[in-house]
Amino acid sequence: GDFPIEIDTLVVGAGPGGYVAAIRAAQLGQKVTIVEKGDLGGVCLNVGCIPSKAMIQAGHLTEHAHGNEELGIKTENVSVDFSKVQEWKGKVVNKLTSGVEGLLKGNKVDIVKGEVFFVDQNSVKVMDDKNSQTYTFNNCIIATGSTPIEIPSFKFSDRVLDSTGALNLKEIPKKMVVIGGGYIGTELGSAYANFGTEITVLEGTKDILGGFEKQMTQVVKKRLKKKDVKIITEAMAKGVEESKDGVKVTYESKGKEETIEADYVLVTVGRRPNTDELGLEQVGIDVDDKGLIKIDKQCRTNKENIYAIGDIVAGMPLAHKASYEGKVAAEAISGEKAEIDYLGMPAVVFSDPELATVGYTEKEAKDAGYKAKASKFPFAANGRALSLNDSDGFLKLITREEDGLVIGAQIAGPNASDMIAEIGLAIEAGMTAEDIALTIHAHPSLGEITMEAAEVALGTPIHMM
């Protein structure tokens, strides 16, 4: 037996959930130890949000480099040294992950490398290559994240890729099949399409980007079509045959079996929570049938000193949700009254153009019993969008009819990811459409679209009849 090391607050996993929880707990005076079996920053910084956005940006730059006939911009001999793209992407990731290490150390958080297994409600074993060390703790925040789902007939390999494999390719594929038109498949598919890859998306349901309104996905689909991305809906992927330099993917569509040949197949059909190998049953922590840990409004599990946050609990598996829950859990442990409230939480797809939503959609608001009003303003009526030569899309502001309270918004258009923040703030602060309309927005800017939609809600838009 080893001598147990006594610690105060234990954080398991150093993704955007865990490292943020650790820092906030330390700020509030807790003595924190964070244990990570892989790299600091978790999925998000190493193989998720950040490298995928870097890849998307490199794809955009490549697409733009090909010139623009309408603007008379002609270019020749555009080429991409993909190893340089990968090198740059790696540098972006390293800057951020070493930043996280610096922040943890600066906040006097102890960093331990190893894999955590629960022993009981107050102790864990941490294993590294050689050793096993027991730690006893007072409070614990579990933030172990999620892993790509593998379909049995598509075992991951050099040719059958998960998102990580797709982010780390050494070459630009000539042809790639993407199984699953969720946000990850759509983002990576369009990034590679911009590099020149011929993309076919196989989606099992009736439409890609299932969680978003049709009006919004329509805008993205139009662009994907321009990029020659082929989308086959209601297509069930059946199996894959691998050869040395490619794959043959079989799928069923409208009762017929079809095959496509490609260099690679990317499988993005969802992620599963990393909760099955933690020893949670030793502690008696309640988990639902999807493997998600059950929590209350303070992220507390059924064991009062153990909290869970991020991709391992219900809700949208997004980095900012994990971080938000991390702060709530850290504050709850410190005795603060923090409680989760997801209404102001955005969800974004970094497609081309971007999609973003916050709060209620019109339908959700009505289902929740609101008399809801939807006020729409198109990007095409905004000077900045036109001068960016990027004017597809719209912003839809959702307000409560009786008093104009802002309760949601959906945006399809360039910079939707940044624009959604203003409406998130309005929701969080309990503002009305009038508050947004009274706010002077710089001209010409995309922010004016938000102001105009608020004017539409009031019945007094200037730039729309």
Q: Where are the alpha helices (DSSP H) in 66-201?
A: 82-106, 163-167, 183-195
Instruction: Find residue 230's DSSP bridge partners.
Output: 200
Using the rule CB under 6 A, is 30 a contact of ligand FAD? no
User: Which residues in the 264-293 window bind ligand FAD by CB under 6 A?
Assistant: 274, 278
Span interacting with ligand FAD, options 213-221, 313-321, 337-345, 378-386, rule CB under 6 A? 313-321
Shortest distance in whole angstroms from residue 313 CB to ligand FAD: 8
- In this structure, are strands 123-127 and 115-120 parallel, antiparallel, or unpaired? antiparallel
> Backbone phi, then psi, for 89, in 5-degree steps?
-55, -45
Rounded to 10 degrees, the C-alpha dihedral 16/21/23/28 comes to: 160
Instruction: Confirm whether 443 is a catalytic residue.
Output: yes
Give the residue, chosen from 62, 139, 146, 432, that forms a contact with ligand FAD under the rule CB under 6 A: 146
Nearer to ligand FAD, 320 or 463 (CB): 320
Nearest residue to 183 via CA among 354, 54, 349, 60:
349
User: Which residues in the 325-354 window bind ligand FAD by CB under 6 A?
Assistant: 350
Buried b (16+ CB within 10 A) or exposed e, 291-312: ebbebeebbbbebeebbbbbbb
Shortest distance in whole angstroms from residue 44 CB to ligand FAD: 3
Nearer to ligand FAD, 47 or 453 (CB): 47
Q: Which of 66, 441, 443, 463 is catalytic?
A: 443
Using the rule CB under 6 A, is 357 a contact of ligand FAD? no
Q: How many residues bind ligand FAD (CB under 6 A)?
A: 35
Give the residue, chosen from 17, 59, 359, 378, that forms a contact with ligand FAD under the rule CB under 6 A: 17
d(CA 118, CA 124): 4
How much of the chain is in helix, strand and coil states, percent to nearest 5?
35, 25, 40
Give the residue, chosen from 33, 86, 97, 163, that forms a contact with ligand FAD under the rule CB under 6 A: 163
Buried b (16+ CB within 10 A) or exposed e, 108-140: ebbbbebbbbbbeebbbbbeeeeeebebebebb
- Applying CB under 6 A, the residues found at the interface with ligand FAD are 12-18, 35-38, 42-44, 48-49, 52, 115-116, 143-146, 163, 184, 274, 278, 310-311, 317-320, 322, 350
Instruction: State the binding site for FAD.
Output: 53, 144-146, 311
State the catalytic residues. Answer: 443
Instruction: State the binding site for NAD(+).
Output: 180-187, 203, 270
